[in-house]
């Protein structure tokens, strides 16, 4: 059964757009010592836009942008949607492109065949750091240091393009992180993005601890490790990739705009995607616990 104090805390939270899926979560969240946060869609708005495209001089700019756009059109990833939107906007008349055998490699990128050539689109480690070295020693770090995500396009083993994409941090993020730290709760960012981009975004958000290059299944492993270290941890996420980690944390918190699976797996839902509600919720739950005990 649920105590009147718990019920009151839960309905109070609901009015502020924080939905608890049960009384026990209100108790658990009050004891949280650390919070793992996904980057894209959680700390950031999750709506990246292409800011820059560098094309190898031996290749046709329009054709490469059209091909990348057509391939990414078959992916639902926010980065893919941004590349497709850029391609649609840039090219008034598009060369006819047939995409064959498109495959998604979770946490890495996509592959496909266009005009009998093999395309690989994704992060530096996916296309191979050696192939990408010219760019990795050149323009890419500069863009990554600004918090931009760098996506490489490789055609038949040659890097032909680099896309830089910028996602903006949510306007509630910095305050939320500051409030958590003030309450002695350690924030830790988990992301599939590269080291430099992760560092820049973490710094902007005010987060000192981050884990970059996290493959989807690794987020879960990191949450397990963090549980050992901090005993009671929450995880905040929005994506399909985050669901196992949400389920494994002591308290799983989903962004209201998140994917169905993240919403289903979580214990608490932030209806307004407002991270700063987490601290209000913790304060409220701590007060509730004092009343019960």
- The residue ranges that bind ligand ADP (CB under 6 A) are 39-40, 72, 75, 77, 79-80, 107-110, 121-123, 149, 151, 191-193, 216, 239, 241
Q: What residues numbered 35-64 form the site for Mg ion, per CB under 5 A?
A: 38, 40-41
The single residue among 238, 244, 269, 288 that binds Mg ion, judged by CB under 5 A, is: 238
- Beta strands 158-166; 49-55: pairing state: antiparallel
Provide the β-strand partners of residue 114.
99, 117
CB nearer to ligand ADP: give 192 or 244. 192
| Residue, CB closest to Mg ion | 41
Q: 32 burial class (0-12, 13-18, 19+ CB within 10 angstroms)? A: buried
Closest separation in Å from C-beta 38 to Mg ion = 4
Number of residues interacting with Mg ion: please give it, by CB under 5 A: 5
Catalytic-residue membership of 58 = no
- Beta strands 117-122; 149-155: pairing state: antiparallel
CB nearer to ligand ADP: give 236 or 282. 236
Closest separation in Å from C-beta 212 to ligand ADP = 9
Could you give the CA distance from residue 27 to residue 43 in angstroms, rounded to a whole number?
25
Closest separation in Å from C-beta 107 to ligand ADP = 4
Closest separation in Å from C-beta 182 to Mg ion = 25
Could you give the CA distance from residue 213 to residue 220 in angstroms, rounded to a whole number?
13
Could you give the CA distance from residue 242 to residue 45 in angstroms, rounded to a whole number?
16
Binding mask 108-147 for Mg ion (x = CB under 5 A): ----------------------------------------
Could you give the CA distance from residue 14 to residue 178 in angstroms, rounded to a whole number?
23
Backbone φ and ψ for 100, nearest 5 degrees, come out as -115, 145
Asked whether 275 and 173 are in contact (CB, 8 A), the reply is: yes
Q: Work out whether 250 is an interface residue with Mg ion (CB under 5 A).
A: no
Closest separation in Å from C-beta 42 to Mg ion = 5
Q: Work out whether 239 is an interface residue with Mg ion (CB under 5 A).
A: yes
Q: Which of 38, 167, 242, 274 is flagged as catalytic?
A: 38
CB nearer to ligand ADP: give 69 or 107. 107
DSSP secondary structure, 25-69, as one string: HHHHHHT--EEEEEIIIIIB-S--EEEEEEE-TTS-HHHHHHHHH
Provide the β-strand partners of residue 113.
100, 118
Task: State the binding partner of 238 from Mg ion, ligand ADP, none, CB within 5 to 8 A by kind.
Answer: Mg ion
Binding site for Mg ion (CB under 5 A): 38, 40-41, 238-239
Catalytic residues: 38
């Amino acid at each position: 059964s649920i105590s009147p104090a718990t019920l009151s805390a839960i309905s109070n939270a609901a009015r502020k757009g924080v939905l608890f899926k049960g009384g026990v979560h209100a108790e658990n969240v009050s004891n949280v010592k650390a919070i793992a946060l996904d980057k894209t869609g959680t700390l950031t708005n999750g709506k990246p836009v292409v800011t820059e495209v560098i094309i190898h001089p031996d290749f046709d700019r329009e054709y490469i942008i059209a091909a990348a756009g057509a391939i990414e059109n078959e992916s639902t990833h926010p980065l893919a949607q941004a590349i497709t939107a850029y391609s649609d906007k840039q090219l008034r008349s598009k060369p006819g492109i047939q995409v064959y055998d498109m495959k998604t490699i979770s946490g890495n990128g996509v592959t496909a065949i266009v005009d009998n050539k093999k395309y690989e689109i994704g992060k530096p480690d996916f296309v191979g750091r050696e192939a990408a070295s010219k760019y990795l020693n050149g323009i890419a770090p500069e863009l990554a240091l600004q918090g931009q995500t760098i996506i490489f396009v490789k055609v038949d083993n040659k890097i032909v393009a680099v896309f830089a994409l910028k996602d903006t941090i949510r306007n509630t993020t910095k305050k939320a992180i500051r409030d958590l730290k003030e309450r002695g709760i350690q924030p830790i960012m988990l992301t599939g993005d590269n080291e430099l981009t992760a560092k820049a975004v973490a710094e902007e958000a005010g987060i000192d601890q981050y884990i970059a290059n996290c493959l989807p299944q690794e987020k879960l492993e990191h949450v397990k490790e963090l549980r050992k270290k901090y005993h009671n941890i929450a995880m905040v996420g929005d994506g399909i990739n985050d669901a196992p980690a949400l389920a494994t944390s002591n308290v799983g918190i989903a962004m209201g705009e998140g994917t169905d699976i993240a919403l289903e797996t979580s214990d608490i839902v932030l209806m307004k995607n407002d991270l700063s509600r987490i601290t209000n919720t913790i304060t409220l739950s701590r007060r509730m616990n004092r009343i019960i005990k």
